Structure 1
Amino acid sequence: MPQIAIGMPVFNNQETLARSIDSVLQQTYGDFVLIISDDGSTDGTWAICEYYARVDSRVLIFRQEANLRYMNFKFVLDQSQTEFFCWLAGDDYYSCFFLEKCISVLNHDASVVCSVPKCQFTAPAGNLSLAEGTFPIVQDEIDMRVTQYLYCPSDNTRMYGLFRSEVLRDSFPPRGFHAYDWALSAQTLCFGKHQEIDEVLIYREKTKRALYTGAVLRDERGLLKQLFPVFRMSVWLLRQKKFPRRRGVVRALIWLNLVKHMEYVSNVHPDFYERSRFFYTYLKKRL
């Protein structure tokens, strides 16, 4: 059995998928299986999947009859039986040293559950920037790790690091909701540390910030849930047995809910936000 599984949930990625798959197959560490799940693509994505499955036995492919959306990430995880696991999106790609350097960190330190390198974002205009969500979280205390993360989940690129598979299986939410990936990352920190590799080894397409409001409207039904987009995420975390409920953690959750509420209101109800900006700023400083 391979030691690592790379899960690749894809949807209409025909323009970038070959680059993503090639970056996996060209890894210097070759003891892996690549699990691709096509979430009902309507372009040429599935044909590309079939080609790579024919030419390399390490590539396993699945095609979903119904669109799974966020749960497609869980599907590829559920198909794996390896000790370590990572995700790669169909429009992202690796340096050839990604697996080799990530697994070295995990093998060296049993207290680390996620090894994630620095990441470079690319954009259609050619602009480059480093991801802000790969910083190390290595405190010994669970509540300190979770609190640090909740105050700065950022772009959550840490989700694309290499994890201990058992930790991911114990941490993945059983159903999809807005910011499920933040919930996942926060829960994994209850099991151990996240270590950063100080080298760019993964490259991601940058998601347009303007798509955030659309994602909230799509993920959350009802005005109250839309106004507080990470409320369901927060409730799910607080119900988990290993999740700490100390004052600092709860305070960080409240702060995050306020920040995402402000972001949503500023986009959807800008006039109201302008009238209430002083009040919002006051609350944010108090937290």
Structure 2
Amino acid sequence: MSADPTYATAAPPSHRPLVSVGMPTYNAEQTIAASIECLLQQTVADFELLVSDNASTDGTWDVIQDIARRDARVIGIRQPKNIGANGNYSAVFRRARGGYFKWASSNDWCAPQFLEHCVARLEAHPDTVLVAPRTRLFQGDLNHYTDYDRDIAFDQPDPVDRFIAVSSKLPLNNILNGVMRTAALARTRLIEHYVGADVVLVGHLALLGKIELLDEPMFYRRMDRETATQMMSAEALHRHHYPVKTRRALFPAWRKTGGWLHAALASDLSRRDTLRAVQWSLRQAYWKAPELGRDVVDAIGQSVRR
């Protein structure tokens, strides 16, 4: 194995694709094949599919290798150890080469026109950084779904208004499964190692451009205890983010506050808008004072136990 901490089923082709799709996965042997196949059937063919296996203990890697042998667009990436869900999401983006990027779960399903319609909207609206369709939720059988009616766009003209709306109004973060500009995503810290980092990322993107919602239900999201973080127990959620003991697990509320502040300061806003975004972030920190206090108590407790 080389110095690179991961290895892949094949070297990426020299052609730079229109879209990179990144699929982080862990122990998804039962669902990943269907999730990959729906992407291979997209009406946009000019894409690469980067599938990063986070050191699965089941047959996930075997499934990835088998599909990669049959379709050159699929590049399997194997992590030698579990780097946490958020770490794997960020790792797969760093391999992307397309002008547009989409994260895809190994448990969900996308309609064939997903990439085509999202890319078309992005190309027609240069001030938009992310486009996503409406969502349908399902458990088990894909045909038994429920339309999710709380997906919203963040397309206000004012970037700070968008930032505030994301931090206060985003329910399920379905919108992060849309298609975004690679250049915009590269300006962020991606998904850092704390709960809620995905929402902070959307907030940062909202400062960089508009986030649009297509009025078409083309994203089908699986909702069960094994795949949906909102339905996991506290213990399972902690393992999802921190599979091994690490200092990154300490001070999650403080890290999240720092994430909001970094987004406000790193988005090349006017001085006035930067101040507004920072003030909003500090106001959120004030509201979260009990959580910040618990972080300190928890850190002291862990220090004492050592």
Pick the TM interval, shorter chain. Answer: 0.7 to 0.9
Amino acid at match of 1:22: E
Partner of 1:213: 234
Distance 1:260 1:204, change over 3 A: farther
Say if 2:158 is the partner of 1:135: no
1:24, distance to aligned residue in structure 2 (A): 0.4
SS of match in other structure, 1:23: helix
Determine the structure 1 residue equivalent to 2:167.
150
Structure 1 unaligned residues grouped into runs of 5+: 266-287
Report the CA distance shift for 1:133/1:50 in structure 2 as closer, same or farther (over 3 A). farther
What TM-score does the superposition give when structure 1 sets the normalisation length?
0.81
Which blocks of at least 5 consecutive residues in structure 2 are unaligned? 1-15, 243-247, 295-306
1:112-261 alignment to 2 at 5 Å? 112-124=128-140, 128-131=145-148, 134-173=151-190, 175-206=192-223, 207=228, 209-211=230-232, 213-214=234-235, 215=237, 221=249, 225=251, 230-239=253-262, 240-242=265-267, 245-247=274-276, 250-251=279-280, 254-255=283-284, 258=287
Contact 1:94–1:203 under 8 Å retained in 2: yes
Relative distance call for 1:54 and 1:221 in structure 2 (3 A) is: closer
Residue type of the alignment partner of 1:232: R
Equivalent residue number for residue 2 of structure 1: 17
Comparing 229-238 and 90-99, the one that deviates more: 229-238
Q: 1:93 aligns with which of 84, 109, 113?
A: 109
Deviation track 1:184-221 (CA, whole Å, cap 9, x = no partner) reads 11111111000100011111112264426333586674
Number of the residue aligned with 1:55: 70
Tell me the SS of whatever aligns to 1:120: strand
Of 73, 76, 90, 1:74 maps to 90
The alignment status of 1:42 with 2:57, answered yes or no, reads: yes
Q: Does the aligned pair in 1 maintain the 2:133–2:214 contact within 8 Å?
A: yes
Does the aligned pair in 1 maintain the 2:261–2:278 contact within 8 Å?
no
Structure 1 residue corresponding to 2:34, chosen from 11, 19, 28: 19
Partners of 1:234 and 1:137 lie apart in 2 by 21
Whole-angstrom distance in 2 between the partners of 1:6 and 1:208 = 21
Aligned-pair CA distance for 1:252: 6.7
Q: Which amino acid aligns with 2:256?
A: M
Q: Is the 8 A contact 1:133 1:158 kept in 2?
A: no
* Range with greater deviation from structure 2 (150-159 or 25-34): 150-159
- Give the Cα separation in 2 of the matches to 1:10 and 1:61: 11
| Partner of residue 283, structure 1 | none
CA–CA separation in structure 2 for the residues paired with 1:221 and 1:172: 17
Percent of pairs with identical residues: 25
CA contact 1:9–1:76 (8 Å) conserved in 2: yes
Corresponding residue pairs, total: 258
- Preserved CA contact (<8 Å) 1:150 1:253: no
Superposition deviation, residue 135 in structure 1: 1.0
The AA in structure 1 aligned to 2:184 is V
RMSD: 2.7
For 1:55, the aligned partner's letter is R
Secondary structure of 2:156 counterpart: coil
- SS of structure 1 residue aligned to 2:207: coil
